């Protein structure tokens, strides 16, 4: 990376931190610190919600997802607008009426303290682990790309976020997220334009679309129903609705964003904005990935996109095998490029028979090329047993660093760092708030002054920030923790949503029933997951997305049954006594 790129990257990061601290220097009360002074406009809420959800992995991983698997991932977001509507109708008015700081406060007024504590603790465990991952996941990729020490990258992201989040709380998070989101949008639009203009002469935009489409990279919508298929139309509009309702309706890192609104209307409009823009935004990011795929049909891609691992394997005793595979891959690329040009000619000729034949030939060559890549991954696994052999997250930034002009590279690194900072700041802000309001103020030390709780909120935010950095720095010792923490989210989210759904819609169900219903539901989801893992051995296979619907329904049904049994018990006691 050139000095100009570094200047743009660090200039952006420093400006964001200073802006966040400067704009919120007058924050002196708990209300201002935790609810942002209740004066945020709808468009700022919308941007803040989107920036919280858009982590660095969104920009690193999503284009790579389209490169390897096509654009079908966009279907995952089809449930989001529906979830926004349901939250606007059912969740928001209650939060506003009770003037809560955290989502879990509502559960005490509806049920009791233990149900509130259960939901708050689930959030703290899950989000506390996720905050470490939000820093670690981009750090490991950025440190490889920039040749920085992993711990230094963790500290740069973590410290920058801690400075303005501890200083200005929710207001600082919202203020900085406006600018971070602007950087992300500008960066992705520029990247989208440049990837299309980087295509070779003679290959137009429509030609690129035909190449991507005929090589299954524009597979945006699939109406086939398949439980084991993670991304299709049906899982998107059913399972994903539950996931997004849990995330946006009950996860404090999101709830805190829209509770900063000056009115219910502003908060609802913010959610509507997210519902309107999120699907097109994901489409654009995936589309960039599909165009990068077309670019690498005309320009030779590396056999493995992580250059550090590539260099390492060349130094091992498997280096010879790897180099041989690299040669085979390059040869296959040349043959494939001729086939791609043949397909473009066939499309331009308009002869369907010719198109079908060219397509068949090209996809056969692509399969052979993928097989060579898979063999290279196998060689890496044998030569470096601890190496991460999934290079999907490196594809987009490899393209950026090797193709795009000076200045734009710095801008796109600023996009990635901004995304990492925006999601981490919301997480730390929410963790600090929940610890202060639901645990410290409610259980440990009530009746103190506003100033005291403001100080403890800042302290807890700082502590969570330090925990996140330390956790991120030790994660390299436990590679599979990333998968474990993602899984924890899928396992716990539906249970919390189930508690909220019972609270809203099943007035006859009381606190003990929902509390034990949630615990039994949690155990049941654990068992289902165990059987699902065994599914590879033949029991059954199910996409994780379905857990969200299943867990929520289980909590509702079990709570309802417990309440019926309790009611019968009370009635029997009544008859016995009378």
Partner 1 sequence: MSEFDNNSPDKDDLPPFFKSWNGAYLFLMANLTFLIMLFYLFTRFFE
Positions in the binding site for partner 1 (CB under 8 A):
74, 78, 81-82, 84-85, 88-90, 93, 96-97, 209-210, 212-214, 216, 218-223, 233, 263-265, 268-269, 272, 275-276, 279-280, 283
Alpha carbon dihedral 378, 379, 381, 382, in 10-degree steps, equals 120
- Six-digit token pair at 474? 């030790």
State the nearest-atom distance from the C-beta of 360 to partner 1, in Å: 13
State the nearest-atom distance from the C-beta of 350 to partner 1, in Å: 14
What distance in Å separates the CA atoms of residue 82 and residue 279, rounded to the nearest whole number? 12
Complex with partner 1: residue 217 or 373, whichever CB lies closer: 217
State the nearest-atom distance from the C-beta of 280 to partner 1, in Å: 7
Would you give the DSSP letter of residue 444? I
State the nearest-atom distance from the C-beta of 93 to partner 1, in Å: 4
Strand partners, 40: 261
State the nearest-atom distance from the C-beta of 433 to partner 1, in Å: 23
Q: Smallest Cα–Cα separation from 469: which of 165, 237, 84?
A: 165
Q: Smallest Cα–Cα separation from 173: which of 341, 342, 423, 353?
A: 423
Complex with partner 1: residue 146 or 272, whichever CB lies closer: 272
Complex with partner 1: residue 25 or 97, whichever CB lies closer: 97
State the nearest-atom distance from the C-beta of 71 to partner 1, in Å: 8
State the nearest-atom distance from the C-beta of 73 to partner 1, in Å: 12
- Six-digit token pair at 516? 């034990």
State the nearest-atom distance from the C-beta of 83 to partner 1, in Å: 11
Given a contact cutoff of 8 angstroms between Cβ atoms, the answer to whether 555 and 518 are in contact is: yes
Complex with partner 1: residue 148 or 506, whichever CB lies closer: 506
Given a contact cutoff of 8 angstroms between Cβ atoms, the answer to whether 79 and 240 are in contact is: yes
Complex with partner 1: residue 10 or 506, whichever CB lies closer: 506
State the nearest-atom distance from the C-beta of 6 to partner 1, in Å: 39
Length of the chain: 578
Complex with partner 1: residue 173 or 241, whichever CB lies closer: 241
- Six-digit token pair at 506? 């099943």
Q: How far does the chain reach from its first CA to its final CA, in angstroms?
A: 84
Complex with partner 1: residue 131 or 212, whichever CB lies closer: 212
CA distances from 337 to 115, 333, 358, 550 (A): 61, 6, 12, 46
State the nearest-atom distance from the C-beta of 214 to partner 1, in Å: 7
The conformational region for residue 350 under phi > 0 = left, psi -120 to 50 = alpha, else beta, is: left
Distant-in-sequence contacts of 439-447, Cβ < 8 A, 24+ apart: 439/117, 439/120, 439/124, 442/108, 442/113, 442/116, 443/117
- 537 CB-near residues (< 8 Å, 6+ apart): none
- Residue pointed to by tokens 């060349």: 314
Complex with partner 1: residue 286 or 556, whichever CB lies closer: 286
- Residue pointed to by tokens 């601290």: 21
Complex with partner 1: residue 216 or 374, whichever CB lies closer: 216
What distance in Å separates the CA atoms of residue 565 and residue 198, rounded to the nearest whole number? 67
Complex with partner 1: residue 200 or 280, whichever CB lies closer: 280
């Amino acid at each position: 990376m050139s000095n100009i790129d570094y200047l743009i990257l660090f200039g952006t990061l420093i400006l964001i931190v200073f802006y966040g601290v400067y704009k919120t220097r007058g924050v002196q009360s708990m209300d201002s610190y935790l609810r942002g002074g209740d004066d945020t406009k709808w468009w700022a809420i919308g941007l803040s919600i989107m920036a919280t959800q858009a982590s660095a992995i969104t920009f690193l991983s999503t284009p790579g997802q389209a490169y390897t698997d096509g654009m079908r991932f966009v279907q995952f977001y089809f449930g989001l607008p529906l979830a926004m509507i349901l939250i606007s109708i059912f969740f928001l008015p209650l939060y506003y009426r009770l003037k809560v700081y955290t989502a879990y406060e509502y559960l005490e007024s509806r049920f009791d303290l233990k149900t509130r504590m259960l939901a708050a603790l689930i959030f703290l465990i899950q989000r506390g682990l996720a905050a470490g991952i939000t820093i670690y996941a981009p750090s490991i990729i950025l440190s490889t790309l920039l040749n920085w020490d992993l711990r230094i990258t963790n500290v740069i992201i973590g410290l920058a976020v801690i400075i303005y989040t501890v200083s200005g709380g929710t207001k600082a998070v919202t203020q900085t997220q406006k600018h971070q989101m602007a950087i992300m949008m500008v960066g992705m639009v520029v990247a989208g334009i440049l990837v299309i203009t980087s295509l070779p002469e003679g290959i137009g935009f429509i030609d690129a679309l035909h190449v991507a489409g005929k090589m299954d990279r524009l597979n945006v919508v699939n109406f086939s129903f398949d439980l084991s298929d993670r991304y299709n139309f049906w899982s998107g509009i059913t399972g994903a609705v539950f996931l997004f309702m849990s995330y946006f309706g009950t996860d404090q890192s999101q709830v805190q964003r829209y509770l900063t609104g000056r009115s219910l209307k502003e908060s609802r409009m913010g959610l509507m904005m997210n519902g309107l823009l999120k699907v097109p935004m994901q489409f654009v990011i995936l589309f960039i990935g599909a165009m990068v795929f077309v670019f690498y049909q005309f320009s030779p891609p590396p056999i493995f996109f992580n250059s550090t691992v590539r260099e390492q394997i060349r130094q091992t005793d498997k280096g010879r095998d790897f180099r041989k595979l690299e040669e085979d891959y390059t040869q296959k690329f040349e043959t494939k490029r001729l086939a791609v040009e043949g397909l473009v000619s066939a499309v331009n000729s308009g002869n369907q028979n010719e198109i079908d034949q060219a397509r068949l030939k090209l996809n056969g060559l692509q399969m052979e090329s993928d097989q060579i890549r898979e063999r290279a991954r196998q060689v890496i696994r044998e030569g470096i047993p601890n190496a991460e052999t999934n290079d999907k997250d490196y594809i987009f930034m490899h393209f950026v660093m090797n193709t795009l002009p000076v200045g734009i590279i710095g801008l796109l690194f600023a996009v990635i760092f901004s995304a990492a900072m925006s999601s981490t700041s919301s997480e730390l802000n929410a963790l600090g708030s929940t610890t202060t309001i639901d645990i410290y103020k409610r259980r440990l030390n009530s009746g103190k002054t506003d100033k005291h709780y403001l100080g403890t909120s800042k302290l807890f935010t700082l502590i969570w920030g330090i925990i996140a950095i330390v956790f991120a720095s030790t994660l390299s010792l436990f590679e599979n923790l990333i998968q474990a923490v993602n899984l924890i989210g899928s396992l716990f989210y539906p249970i919390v949503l189930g508690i909220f759904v019972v609270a809203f819609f099943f007035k006859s169900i009381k606190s003990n029933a929902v509390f034990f219903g949630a615990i039994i539901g949690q155990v049941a989801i654990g068992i289902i997951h165990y059987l699902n893992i065994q599914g590879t051995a033949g029991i059954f296979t199910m996409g994780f997305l379905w857990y969200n619907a299943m867990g929520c329904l289980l909590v509702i049904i079990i709570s309802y049954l417990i309440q019926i049994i309790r009611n019968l018990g009370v009635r029997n006691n009544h008859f016995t006594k009378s």
